Amino acid sequence: MNTEPDRYAVIGNPIAHSRSPEIHQLFADQTGECIRYEKILAEPGGFEAAVRQFFDAGGRGLNVTLPFKGEAFEFAAKCTDLAVHAGAVNTLIAQDDGSCLGANTDGIGLLRDLKKTLRLSIQNKRLLILGAGGATRGILEPLLQEKPLALVIANRTPERGAALVEHFRALGPMQSCALDAIPDGPYDLIVHATSAALQDQELGLPDTLAGPGTCCYDLIYSDTPTPFMRWAKDQRVLQVTDGFGMLLEQAAESFYLWRGKRPDTAMACNYLRPP
């Protein structure tokens, strides 16, 4: 009998601080699955070779993080509809014929966290998304499927926001604008999806976007409040959160696609992030 654990990994650059290994190992313990989960650092230009090597050596699945989600989409032989529309893959699943299926669980992860943890329904709500890069592409379709009243994409480079509106236009009411020309709020939900904080830069947001009922959600997870979370607290909004819940939920969906079992994310959150 084969008692070797099935191999999984997260691949990205940088990767040292990824919490995916401890999350998936906990999920495996919860569900009684026998897996080994590693981190793989890929150099720019080295993604495809690293992925091939992993699967050729018997790997069963990969999580893909920045900056390789677009390359993972190109790599996958077949993709789920959500991944095709996003043009980005964060989960690769080895198939019996030796090929790989690509999926994107980011948007599902965000929605589950909004519903379960924050008890926020998107239907008929006004949404503002800050940023128009890969992170935004991954969450737009699942958000629009929930039928918001309006969705505004604000981006430093307005043309990128306009291109996303064009791409997803059929799915719901959307508009785009520059970061310094955002229509007044209050919005029900503001999602921060830029990488400005990685360069330690502030967005310079106005005070006209949030009210007491606004929920502010940063897709980044961090042990200390991010610049966007600090801005949100200054606006006196009641709900401000980082992306740790989304990280857990997208991981749980990947785990389900690989193993067919659903981990308990609430328990995992209590364990991995004590108050």
CB-wise, 86 or 101, nearer to ligand ATR? Answer: 86
Question: Among residues 39, 69, 125, 147, which one is catalytic?
Answer: 69
The one-character DSSP state at 61 is E
Beta carbon nearer to ligand ATR, 88 or 93: 88
**DSSP assignment string, 99-152:** -EEEE--HHHHHHHHHHHTS----TT-EEEEE--SHHHHHHHHHHHHT--SEEE
Q: Does 140 bind ligand ATR (CB under 6 A)?
A: no
Per CB under 6 A, 128 contacts ligand ATR: no
Q: Candidates 51, 92, 93, 132: give the one binding ligand ATR (CB under 6 A).
A: 132
Residue from 37, 40, 36, 38 nearest 13 by CA: 40
- Cis preceding linkage at 186, omega within 30: yes
User: Least distance (Å) from ligand ATR to the CB of residue 177?
Assistant: 12
Question: 163 or 272: whose CB is closer to ligand ATR?
Answer: 163
Q: Which is nearer to ligand ATR, 87 or 186 (CB)?
A: 87
Figure out which of the listed residues 134, 142, 148, 185 binds ligand ATR, where binding follows CB under 6 A: 134
CB of 160 to ligand ATR, least distance (A): 4
Q: Which helix (H) or strand (E) holds 166?
A: helix 158-168
Query: d(Cα 36, Cα 113) in Å, to the nearest integer?
Result: 26
x-or-dash string of contact with ligand ATR, 192-231, rule CB under 6 A: --xxx--x-x-x----------------------------
Q: How far is the CB of 197 from ligand ATR (least distance, A)?
A: 9
Query: Under 8 Å CB-to-CB from 16, ≥6 apart: which residues?
Result: 39, 41
Residue nearer to ligand ATR on the CB measure, 63 or 265:
63
Q: Does 110 bind ligand ATR (CB under 6 A)?
A: no
Q: Does 135 bind ligand ATR (CB under 6 A)?
A: yes
Contact with ligand ATR (CB under 6 A) among 160, 167, 261, 273: 160
Q: Are 246 and 191 in contact (CB under 8 A)?
A: no
Least separation in angstroms between residue 35's CB and ligand ATR is 27
User: SS3 helix, strand, coil % of the chain, rounded to 5?
Assistant: 40, 20, 40
Nearest-CA neighbor of 67 among 26, 13, 19, 28?
13
**Options 28-36, 107-115, 150-158, 238-246: segment touching ligand ATR (CB under 6 A):** 150-158
Distance of alpha carbon 155 from alpha carbon 149, whole angstroms = 20
Active site residue 147: no
Q: Following CA atoms 177, 182, 141, 189 in sequence, which dihedral angle do they give, to the nearest 10 degrees?
A: 170
Active site members: 69
List contacts with ligand ATR (CB under 6 A): 66, 131-135, 155-157, 160, 194-196, 199, 201, 203
